[in-house]
Amino acid sequence: MNNKKSVLGRGLGSILRNPETDITTSSNNKESIVGNINTIKIDVISTNPFQPRSEFDQEKLEELSHSIKTLGIIQPITVRKLGNDKYQLISGERRLRASQMAGKTEIPSFIRIANDHEMLEMALVENIQRSNLNPIEIALSYQRLMEECKLTQEQCSERVGKKRSSVANFLRLLKLPEEIQLALQHSSISMGHARALINVKDLEIQMNIFNDVVANGFSVREVEQLVRTFADIGYKQTSKPKTPTIPNSLPFSSQQKIHNLSNYLEKDIDIKRNKKGKGKLIIPFNSDDDFISLIGKISENS
């Protein structure tokens, strides 16, 4: 079989399955199951390595889990078939997680043919178009879509059906300091606030205005006025520094690492943390076998 040139970066490429096990490279890729909705065992479905969501609301997952216990799965998840009775999730991770919480062992799934490049595009575009992604998740998705699929901003905008200026505005958010990105991620400030703060080049002035915005609840128009007036002459913070009220008070980069670990272990990780920084990292398991499997995965990377 001829070697294929990877279209992915080394990081993502290393976590994908061997292409020789992918149905798209197999002579049997016209199996009758492909393109149909089938019931698949949950334990043969691996999570989507391209999932851009960094958080899943635990309360909403529990609500969905209760609904699944009562009514079952209304909308099937979407997977691609790998070799040896294995599948990889394309979309529907909330439904998959909630089904596991509900004690389900099988889940209805729509099976598609997709190579790694198509898998990446489908997952990112499908998630970008969801209404409940926060601005930073959208921005990161645009960035990955462009970098890993080798797309320009214009091509990216065509893929997702958005104006190029909209894509550019989201990408600019990633130039903000982590504290501001985290506040935007948790709705402490709005997209309008963030877009105004981007125009402040001096980091100290930018952070002083940001801290007062959070402390005083300034409107977007008030922030725009502050930026026009003080961006070049300097701005001193008037509010007293406060203990962050964002859940767990973790830096954005740390939350991303927790998200990556959650994906790798295929578990919802819970963080308990007090004001002094002490806390616990809680990883749930369902049985002795599940516990042994978790320890094995952790030991592989220790």
Which of 233, 288, 284 minimizes the C-alpha distance to 262? 284
Which of 80, 22, 9, 8 minimizes the C-alpha distance to 46? 80
Distances (CA, A) of 170 to 70, 128, 163, 221, 259: 39, 11, 11, 19, 21
∠182-187-193 over CA atoms, to 5°?
Answer: 85
Return d(Cα 192, Cα 219) in angstroms, integer.
9
Q: Give the residue numbers marked as catalytic.
A: 93
Residue 239 tokens, joined: 């509010």
Q: What is the dihedral of CA 21, 23, 26, 28, to 10 degrees?
A: 130
Residue 47 tokens, joined: 């999570």
